[in-house]
Every structure is written in structure tokens, then in C-alpha cells.
Chains A and B, each alone.
Chain A
Amino acid sequence: MIGPVFARARGLIAAALLCGVALPSTSRGEVDSRFGVGAWADPTVPSASSRFAPWWTLATSSSRLSLQGLASGRNQSLDPRGFMLSGTTWLEPPAGTGREISTQVSQRERGPGGELTSVRSELRLHVLRPERGAWVGLGTEVNNGAVTHDVWPALAIGGWARRQRFFAVLDLEQSVGRTTLRAPRSSRSSSEPDTSGFAPPDTAAGIEKDATLTTARAALQWARGRLALESSAGVTLSRGADPRRWARALATYQVLDRVAVFASVGKGAPALHTFEPSDERHATVGVSLLEARAPLTPAALAAAPRVTYRLSRLHGGRHELTVWAPGAARVELMGDMTGWEPVALSRMKYIRWTTMLELSPGVHQLSIRIDEGDWGPLPGAPTAPDGYGGTVSQIVAE
């Protein structure tokens, strides 16, 4: 079933430009802000005025709290006009567990003159291990508009595992979404007008309406050096409707430090707010000026319970050192590449910190410290005695 999704991919070519500005501060409680603007172009839409769908996004995150805003432009063939604001707070994981509280408020246009306002709140509890984790979430979603549907309880359950360069996520989540109900055989042939008080769009297959969607998803990510590949597939179920199977593949290649090209094919899970149309099969190509790596899920990012690192060679001697440090407010390193002077890493997202290093081929020694604690080796990296009674990390640059 997944094969035809790619084989029949609609000829939608979207060009997106995601640019951003990071505003790190040197004090504790560092805050990063990013914004993005872009537009989707659909050459299959006949009207030039509705061929483009602009969107913008703004995200701000500190060590415990992240806020995100997203708005999509008016284009009925893609996403309806609307906005979404979401906030997530991550509470300090005590001894292998964590709590995540999120709230999302969104509003979107629903047909001519109709609007749908949605509020979703959720609490997730995590169980964390070094290379794997699981979570269970309980929430509610309340909708107000011409067509309403609430869901309580909205359940979420999932797990993740990380091994070498692979990262896998399996989850199941309930939400409100639009679905196409199977029309009864008798009404499919009927030409009588709708008298129910609202006029949801009819399709050849049935009637579109909001319903509780249950989505099961499996995602696998692989990253090495400049290349990252991500694939996800799932099935979305709702009462009275046929199952919707979807699959999507994404490739990201980092060309320069903060410039990457990406391409995707397939369609994603049904969602109220996305950068791109999620219900249509499509192919995309784009350029990203920030967050060049394929994104991991926020829950999975937050769920890594111990400090780990990755060293990626970019071009020439330029390397990107990424450190995952749960609960950290500040991460610094010093080593032979910095003349043994401390350098603060930039907080990229949730618990991910990065810095660019100029490394000649060979072995390099370094130490890190978190929240102005003691200097020590980078967990997971080879070590050696430092000659001063301590230990340093040794990393090998190609």
C-alpha cells in the first residue's frame, strides 16, 4: 500500500525557504529564537492568485520551555488560512523519568465564512533509559466553530530507541481532524440537498467532517555526516471512515554550515496545521538556512536522559559538534582546538547544543562542562589521562 503513495505522487513542486536568526545569550537561562518565512507553489492550480501559499513560523525555546507560532496563508487548494500557537514545558527528569506539559491553541478557516478554534492540552510522562524510552500522554482537545467535535480523553503512547546512527520512534496518538465518512449506499445515489443545518463539503466518497482520529506511526531516522534520511509511515483510523495510510520520506543534505537542501516525497499524517499540505501526495524540494538536520520529534529529543554527542564533518576541516544535554542551561567546551579557552555551545532545540570546530585530521583533546560544573570528558567519547590528574576526551577528526 505504501508503494502506490510514492508512485502516484502528485506533481506538486514546492519551494520553501526557511531562514532563521539565533539569539543566544551568554547568561544562564539562554533563550534561542528562530523565525522562518516561506511559500508553497502549486503549479497544478489554475488560478495564479491561489497558486502560492505563504507561511511563517516563530519559535522560542529555553532549557525548559518552548513556544512556537505558525501561520499559513490563504490558499484553498493547500492549507486554509489559520494560525497555531503552542507551548511545551519540560520538567526536570528525576532519576529516569520526565514530565512534559503542552498546550496548543489554534484557529483556522473552515469553508466560506466558517472558523474553527481548537484548544488542546496534554500531559506526557516519560520513562527514560540511555538508548531507549517510552511515554504515555493524556489530554483533551476542545473545538468551537460551525462544526465541532471534542475529544476526551486524547490518548498518546509511544516509544523510541537509538542505536548508533539510527533513531526509531513508534507511537499512537489521538487528535481531532477532518475525515471523510463513508456515505451509506442509499445516500450516495441521492440528489437531495443537505438539511442538517451545516453544509460540510460532499465528496464522491462521502461527507467530510471533524472526528477523533487515531494515528499509529513508525519513523526511522539515519544520519551520517552531511546527510540525514528520515522515513515515516502510518495509518489513521476514525469511526465510520476508511483507514488512511500515509508514508513520507525526507532527505536533507547540508551544503554549508547553515545551508542545507532537502527533498521529500509522499504525504504526512493528517494535521490541522502544517507548513505543507498533509493530505495530498506531493514532492517537495527546498533550501533550509537553519536547523539543517532533519528534525527529531520533540518528545524524543527531550527524552534522551544523558549527555551524548555527535561529531559531523562538514567541509574542509569544519566540523559540527552536537551535544545532547538534558536539563542543561549552559554547555561549554575547551580543547586544543580552542587554545584551551572555554567556548559556549549554542542551544539549538530543546536539549541539543552545537558548535562549529575547525579540526585538522588527527586526534584532538577536549573537555566539557555543564552549568558551570566541573570540567570533564565528553560522555561517550574515548578518553585519556590529561597529565594534570584528570581525564580528557580524545576525538578523531578525519
Chain B
Amino acid sequence: MRNRRRLALWTGALVVLAFAPALAEEARLVERLGAETAGEITKIVESARAASLPTESLVAAALEGAAKRAPASRIIETVRRRAEALGQAREALGRASTSAELAAGAGAILAGVPADTLARLRAMRPQASLVVPLVVVADLIARRVPETTASAAVIQAARLGIRDRDLLRARERVEQDIRAGRTPTAAIEARGRALGMAFPSATDHHRPARPNGGTP
């Protein structure tokens, strides 16, 4: 009898511990978004969780919308799109990908990076983290570098074995060049060439980039 009571207590404690974060998360969503919107968001979050996708970025996107006073419909739509992007990222990057890679991959897809670029990056770097290349490609597109040029640049960086810190530094210089008045394409091409990348000439955009004579 005493053992049963102890077992019941332990079971109850474990249940509380297991569901406490989710309950706290839901309470926070209700507090910031109202019960109705929070309910919709929770459904999307639960669905993602059931699909074994990381859900932190979904809750964060909802809270971000609340902070920016976005309409409820916009918040729900944004969270839904991010959940879809997380699924696409996992498909492209593989099931062994980390939560950080999936979050970065979803961000890249939402920025306009094709899922194919993610898959090619994974093929180039099957073991190493792709967080930095995915953040960089999303940033380049946000700075109006054409998607094909941005994707070609990070894929070549992966192929050339350029370290993450050097890639981040090159991104920073591209940003500085754009601020200084260079066009985004000219900036990425100049900084990429300094790292050994090759880009098609302005009159040759139909051909894929061939770094150092290799295949793209």
C-alpha cells in the first residue's frame, strides 16, 4: 500500500515535470495574445511537436508578433508558415539535423532560399554545422543579393572549406560595401573572389558559377 502511494506520487511528479514547460508556454501565449489566438498558435505548436520539429522558434515568432502589435491573423499565418518552413528544412537537411540548423534553415527558406540550396549545403558538409552558412545566405538575400548569386556563394564557400568565421567576416564586408554604395551583386562577387570563389560575368549570368574551373 505504501509502495503504491509512493509510486503514484512519483508518477504525478513526473507528469507535472513533463508538462510544466508546455503549460507555462501556453500560459505565456494566452497572456500576450489572448485565449483565442493563443489557442490557434498552440494547435500549430502541438502539431509541430508531434512531428518532432523544434517549437521554440514558433512560440518566439508568436511573441514577436505580439510585441510588434501585429494583427492576430497575421501572427497565426506567420507561425504557420514558419512551421511549414521547419518541415521543409528538415526534409532538405535530413533528420539528423540539429534544432539550431532547422531553425536557421527555416529562416533561410522564409528569406527566399530554395530548399535545394539547403540540400546541396548538407551534401557539401554532411557532418559540420550549417547554422552559419544558412544565416549568411538569408542575410545576403535580405540585402538584395540575387538568390542565385547568394546560394552559389555559400555553396562554393562550403566546397572550398571556408571556415564559418571567415564566411561571417566576408558577409560583414559585403554589408560594408553595400553601405558604401556598391551594388549587392558587385559586393558579394568582389568579396567572394577574394576567398577564391568564381562568379559568372555580368554578361554570362545564364551559366552556373564554376569555382576554379570546377563544377558548381
Binding site for B on A (CB under 8 A): 130, 164, 334, 336, 339-342, 361-363, 365, 375, 380, 382-388, 390-392, 394, 396
Contact = CB atoms under 8 A, between A and B. Distances in A.
Interface of B: 28, 56-57, 60-61, 63-68, 70, 74, 78, 81-82, 98-100, 103-104, 107-108, 110-111, 131-132, 134-136, 138-139, 142-143, 168-169, 171-172, 175-176, 179
Contact of A387 (B56, B110, B134, B139): B110
A367 B172 CA distance: 18
Contacts of A392: 64
B142 A363 contact: no
Contacts of B67: 334, 340-342
Name B's interface SS: helix
Contacts of B139: 382-384, 394
B64 A363 contact: no
28 contacts: A334-B67, A336-B56, A336-B63, A336-B64, A339-B63, A340-B66, A340-B67, A361-B100, A363-B104, A363-B107, A365-B107, A375-B68, A382-B135, A382-B139, A383-B138, A383-B139, A384-B107, A384-B138, A384-B139, A386-B64, A386-B68, A387-B61, A387-B110, A388-B65, A391-B142, A392-B64, A394-B139, A396-B168
B63 to A, nearest CB: 4
A316 B8 CA distance: 36
Contacts of B65: 387-388
Given A363-B100, A383-B138, A394-B135, 6 more contacts: A363-B107, A382-B171, A387-B78, A388-B64, A391-B142, A396-B168
Contacts of B176: 130
Given A340-B67, A341-B67, A365-B64, A385 B103 contact: no
A282 to B, nearest CB: 37
B142 A388 contact: no
Which 7 residue pairs spanning A and B have beta carbons closest together? A362-B100, A387-B78, A382-B139, A336-B60, A340-B63, A340-B67, A363-B104
B131 A396 contact: yes
- The residue in A164, A385, A396 that gathers the most chain B C-beta atoms within 10 A of its C-beta is A396
Contacts, number: 88
Contacts of B132: 396
A385 B78 contact: no
B177 to A, nearest CB: 12
Contacts of B134: 363
B107 to A, nearest CB: 5
Nearest to B100: A362
Contacts of A336: 56-57, 60, 63-64
A100 B134 CA distance: 43
A385 B135 contact: no
Given A339-B63, A394-B107, A382 B138 contact: yes
Contact of B104 (A362, A375, A386): A362
B176 to A, nearest CB: 8
Contacts of A394: 104, 107, 135, 138-139
A379 B110 CA distance: 21
A388 B74 contact: yes
B78 A388 contact: yes
Contact of A385 (B57, B68, B100, B110): B110
B103 A380 contact: no
A18 B154 CA distance: 47
Contacts of B63: 336, 339-341
Contacts of B66: 340
B143 A383 contact: yes
Nearest to A381: B139
A390 B142 CA distance: 10
Nearest to B71: A388
Output the residue of A361, A365, A382, A383 with the most chain B CB within 10 A.
A382
